[in-house]
Amino acid sequence: GNSVTQMEGPVTLSEEAFLTINCTYTATGYPSLFWYVQYPGEGLQLLLKATKADDKGSNKGFEATYRKETTSFHLEKGSVQVSDSAVYFCALMDSNYQLIWGAGTKLIIKP
Amino acid sequence: KAGVTQTPRYLIKTRGQQVTLSCSPISGHRSVSWYQQTPGQGLQFLFEYFSETQRNKGNFPGRFSGRQFSNSRSEMNVSTLELGDSALYLCASSPTGTGGTKNIQYFGAGTRLSVL
């Protein structure tokens, strides 16, 4: 069946460090892939998405590239800020157009 | 444009009771999905409604049910509450819930249910 695997957290970085959060997936076909972010006490916000192989999604300095050959969609940011502290979820959309989620990765940025 | 609104934000119930949660989607969105979020199981899909019909269902017992009204507002009901039902329940809306550029789901802030 479809599944998403994310690196376990928490990930702790200093401000201005480079960020990578790994995400790999198992699915039939080529599903759309998403990164959502959840700030404390809030719901989920779409961060970026990619709908086909080699697509690059980007938003607010975050990027992720849909890699078909490695079934990956790693999230990256060149210079993180304290305000980026949150939980990040990788997800794929299945054939019923529903989201299958990774476990989430908590990101802590220290000033 | 107003976002997805979920009410109430917090609920405390006791075992055996039932509860109803409400979700108002973004204006013009016709698809509403519900998710359960717990520390142990993460995010799990409950069901999806489109034009007042349940279109998809996750792997949850029959105690979990929902409905959608003609204005696309949706309610979720959990009967005979168990301790394990304590969770954050998230509602998401999308224009059509199908593929293409319209398949983005927008989430509400959630209802946090505590079962004592």
Q: How far is CA A46 from CA A43, A85, A98, B59, B103, in A?
A: 10, 15, 14, 24, 12
Q: Dihedral sign, CA of B68, B73, B79, B83?
A: positive
Residue-level pLDDT at B95: 84
* Shortest CA gap B36–chain A (Å): 11
In this predicted model, what pLDDT tens digit does every residue of B19-54 receive, in sequence order?
999 999 999 999 999 999 998 899 999 999 999 999
Q: What is the mean pLDDT of chain B?
A: 92
Among chain B residues, the shortest Cα distance to A44 is held by: B107
Give the tokens for residue A111: 């000033």
CA–CA separation, B10 and B31 (whole Å): 24
In this predicted model, what pLDDT tens digit does every residue of A11-25 receive, in sequence order?
999 999 999 999 999
Which residues of chain B does A32 touch, with a Cβ-Cβ cutoff of 8 Å?
99, 103
Among chain B residues, the shortest Cα distance to A87 is held by: B42
Contact A97 B109 (CB under 8 A): no
Q: What is the mean pLDDT of residues B77-100?
A: 89
In this predicted model, what pLDDT tens digit does every residue of A54-106 receive, in sequence order?
999 999 999 999 999 999 999 999 999 999 999 999 999 988 778 899 999 99
Residue-level pLDDT at B97: 61
